[in-house]
Amino acid sequence: MEQLNGGVGAGAQTFRLAKGVRFRRENFGGLMFQRPVAVIYGLTSSACRTLELCDGTRDVESVVTQMSDEYRVSKELVAEHVNAFLGELRARGFVELTAQ
């Protein structure tokens, strides 16, 4: 799995959903799907929050800081999970880097 630019402190990368990818919250967490191939993924609540924060305006460090504060978990642990999640989503074409 790809590691994104070092996690906490690296922070210059911003992400957003890739073209054709949709995301919506549900009672159990959320759904993310990709058109036109109709691939659907169920998401946990924390995965949903990560995607909500990856709106193309916040860098990875800001996402990590926000989630660390909200979930009351260390930045290092959050960075590890956020970097792994975004790396996997990027490799599958679900998220993309925004223009710097």
Q: Is the pLDDT of residue 20 over 50?
A: yes
Domain assignment present for residue 84? The answer is: yes
Give every CB contact of residue 40 below 8 A, 6+ residues apart in sequence: 31, 32, 33
pLDDT tens digits, one per residue of 40-50: 889 999 999 99
With CA atoms as reference, report the closest residue to 18 among 85, 91, 100, 95: 95
Query: Which of the 8 DSSP states describes residue 18?
Result: P
Number of domains in the chain: 1
Domain assignment present for residue 1? The answer is: no
Domain assignment present for residue 49? The answer is: yes
With the C-alpha atoms ordered 15, 5, 11, 66, is the resulting torsion angle positive or negative?
positive
Q: Which structural domain range is residue 74 located in?
A: 17-92
Domain assignment present for residue 74? The answer is: yes
Domain assignment present for residue 83? The answer is: yes
pLDDT tens digits, one per residue of 24-77: 999 889 999 887 777 888 999 999 999 999 999 999 999 999 999 999 999 999
Q: pLDDT band for position 100 (50/70/90)? A: low
Query: Which CATH number characterizes residue 23's domain?
Result: 1.10.10.1150
